[in-house]
Amino acid sequence: MVATVGTLACSAGRTVRTSPSLRVRQLRSTAAILVVAACIGVALPSVGWAQSAPAQDVEQPQGTAPWVKSETMTVTVRPDGTAESVTTVRIKILSAGVLETVGKQTRNFTEGMQTLDIVEAYTEKANGEKVTVDPENILTTDAQSGQATIYHRDQKARTIIFSDLAVGDTTVLTTRLDQKIAMFPGHYTNHLIYPRQTSAAESTAEIIVPKDMPLTVASYGDEIEHRKVEDETTIRHILTYRPKPRVLGETGQTSPWDRDPRVIVTTFKDYEAVGNAYWARAAVKTAVTPQIQALADEITKGIDDRRGQAAAIDAWVKRNIRYVAIYLGAGGYVPNDAAAVLKHKYGDCKDHVTLMSALLAAKGIASEHVLINSGNTYTVPDQPTFGYFNHLIIRIPEFGLFDDPTVSAAAFGVLGLGDYDKPVLRMSADGMHRDRTPTMQIADHVSTNRTRITVAADGAVTGETIETATGAFATGSRRSTVQVLSDGLDRSAEKRLRTLGFPGRGRFQVPAASDFAEPYAVKAQFTLNEKMTVAAGGTSVIPYGLSMKGRPNGGLLGDRYDGRQLPFVCYAGRQVEELELSFADGMPLPETIPNRSIDNRWFTYTAQYKIEDRTLKITREFVSRVPGQVCSPELEAEIARPLKQVRADLATRLRFGAGVAAGHTEQPVTRETPAQLPTADAEPSAD
């Protein structure tokens, strides 16, 4: 439950979801690709109680929970911002499927700044018997971040292996964590969350602080009772959580930190104080050394336009500074010197921003460091805290532009999907300012698939596709290019055609992944293995080329979830599919397909079909015009049915008439559901 301050979670341009962004699903995955890896502090725990939750929550039939958990915690805060936390976590096992997970629990701590003691650990059998964990089954090792590019040199892991565990038993673990060095001297922050998706019993937390310490404790959610007890020297905040029935998670939902019961503990007076605490330690890291000045001059040589200079510096950082995070002590919140980042040619989000700031300063261009949450958290509490921020990006006031230099595949000013429409804290020598990043604008994120197909007299199908992309779509395309080059231009085409359900041969033509010009264009030629059956009275699917991205099927609006109750993440943008199928002389032509138009508050979809000479021309366009990146459950109810109509139209089959002139006759069109057709990426999933 407790989210202790550790390291700023930083967008590495990488993710646990290692998708090459070949489809719209991967455009959404890009949000995670660009934003999930830890870089500043502890990112807020996703679902479950940080420090105490088992690694996974295995669902049982009818949504029954595999365990029930309760927690009792006492935190004693000292005047210098250090603190001692004593926590007891009880987990009752209800399913054999989680015996292994619950039976091995791990607690991390930062050596040198913290000590962690196992006060008590035992299995409580169903009959009341206690089986104490043998000391030799409490192991201390170097902690692993779980991210391939993030290393905590001084973080340790203490793993407790419980004995004689069966369904119906309860694990009981009491730990004492002593924060010996405050991350920000004189300040203390902490965060507790009680996710409604976790099956919990009544839990308590007690925060004890010196009476003269200006500490705020705020609770959110009517499941939490907050009492305050004072004596001559201390104030005790007593919080009792009485859970309501468990709520199951929903596809694409926003973070529990935006809505679930939670507690914010902070000594910061306001967000300006939060920014000042960070800036006091980070500002000196952006010094312009002679080497940095020389590099800035070299990067911008021949560029007089100041925005062009900033774009060139951004491109240089993205092309030359690898994402590698090595933390020691307070390094999770304090960047390395810009000169050191330049020397090593790697760093985390704070290091990328620090070096870019120094290079900009060398050209007289002012910049701001910007704290943000790059995950699916879209709010910050009124109480000022670091805990909701897990990433650092940059803002250039002269151009009113935010930029994320760790998104190595994004053009200048294009953010990772998880960076749009987010509350932020801008920090510089000119002051601290709360702000919000821009929402996605339709015109900035456009994907267009132009495919020309020739159907020979024997039914052989050949064609070429040109896909152009801007904004977040272009970021995904550049990432795809890396995978295409890794697999080979021919092999990648073959794999992609097979994935689309149209096996064949082909070859991609791709620009360099470091080419930030937009639109970013990928070309491909292909020949399908299976010939098209063109016969009077027959039907055929409509091939849509060697497409790397998703079709205009509503993927920008996320996955559908019947009966949705929670807000979900959604994106704005435009997708276009332009297909031309030319049929050889003497072949029957397709019957006329009626046009379709769907227009509502949230999206438009148009499909136009016409035959000119012997060519069927199809233009489909989907425009998501959501005003922000959080959509309400009411919106889900409005778009579900229209989106089924969109996907039905995309599944339209050709019906061939009796002769070459049949294409000019109005006839009903045969449609099948996407599930019946080879549209492997019809459903999208969210750099």
- Answer whether residue 661 shows pLDDT above 60: no
- Answer whether residue 178 shows pLDDT above 80: yes
Average pLDDT for the chain? 86
Q: What is the mean pLDDT of residues 369-394?
A: 94
Q: What percent of the chain has pLDDT over 70?
A: 83
Cβ burial, residue 648 (10 Å; 0-12/13-18/19+): middle
- Answer whether residue 25 shows pLDDT above 90: no
616 falls in which pLDDT band (50, 70, 90)? very high
**Strand ranges of the sheet holding 155-161, from the earlier edge strand across to the other edge:** 104-110, 155-161, 138-142
Identify the pLDDT of residue 566: 95
- Answer whether residue 456 shows pLDDT above 80: yes
Quick check: 188 and 77 in contact, CB under 8 A?
Answer: yes
Quick check: 686 and 667 in contact, CB under 8 A?
Answer: no
Q: Which two tokens stand for residue 560?
A: 């559908």
**pLDDT tens, residue by residue, 284-297:** 999 999 999 999 99
- Answer whether residue 662 shows pLDDT above 60: no
Quick check: 16 and 475 in contact, CB under 8 A?
Answer: no
Percentages helix, strand, coil for the chain (3-state, rounded to 5) are 25, 35, 45
Identify the pLDDT of residue 85: 97
Q: Which of 17-21, 309-313, 316-320 has the lowest mean pLDDT?
A: 17-21
Between the CA atoms of 487, 488, 491 and 495, what dihedral angle is there, to the nearest 10 degrees?
40
Nearest C-alpha neighbor of 449 from the set 513, 543, 544? 544
Q: What is the mean pLDDT of residues 583-595?
A: 94
**pLDDT tens, residue by residue, 457-477:** 999 999 999 999 999 999 999
Identify the pLDDT of residue 444: 98
- Answer whether residue 145 shows pLDDT above 60: no
Between the CA atoms of 599, 603, 607 and 608, what dihedral angle is there, to the nearest 10 degrees?
60
The reply to whether CATH 3.10.620.30 applies to domain 274-436 is yes
Quick check: 506 and 524 in contact, CB under 8 A?
Answer: yes
Q: How far apart are CA 619 and CA 589, in angstroms?
A: 18
Identify the pLDDT of residue 27: 38
Q: How far apart are CA 91 and CA 481, in angstroms?
A: 46
**pLDDT tens, residue by residue, 548-580:** 999 999 999 999 999 999 999 999 999 999 999
Q: Which residue has the higher pLDDT, 633 or 21?
A: 633
Equal fold, 57-267 vs 274-436? no
Distances, alpha carbon 241 to alpha carbons 128, 193, 201, 205, in Å: 25, 10, 8, 8
**pLDDT tens, residue by residue, 27-64:** 333 333 233 334 655 433 333 333 333 333 333 334 57
The reply to whether CATH 2.120.10.80 applies to domain 443-676 is no
Phi-psi region of 554 (alpha: psi -120 to 50; beta: other; left: phi over 0): left
143 falls in which pLDDT band (50, 70, 90)? low
Identify the pLDDT of residue 332: 57
One of 2.60.40.3140, 3.40.50.300, 3.40.1260.10, 2.40.50.140 is the CATH number of 57-267, namely 2.60.40.3140
**pLDDT tens, residue by residue, 59-88:** 333 457 899 999 999 999 999 999 999 999
**pLDDT tens, residue by residue, 501-546:** 999 999 999 999 999 999 999 999 999 999 998 888 889 999 999 9
Q: What is the mean pLDDT of residues 173-185?
A: 92
3-class SS at 126?
Answer: coil
CB atoms near residue 563 (< 10 Å): 8
Identify the pLDDT of residue 440: 98
- Answer whether residue 281 shows pLDDT above 90: no
Q: What is the mean pLDDT of residues 256-263?
A: 96
- Answer whether residue 112 shows pLDDT above 70: yes
Residue for token pair 């700044």: 113
Identify the pLDDT of residue 542: 94
CB burial of 458-470 (b: ≥16 within 10 Å; e: otherwise) equals ebebbbbbbbbbb
Q: Delimit the domains of the chain by residue range.
A: 57-267, 274-436, 443-676
| CA dihedral sign, ordered 31, 32, 35, 40 | positive
- Answer whether residue 241 shows pLDDT above 70: yes
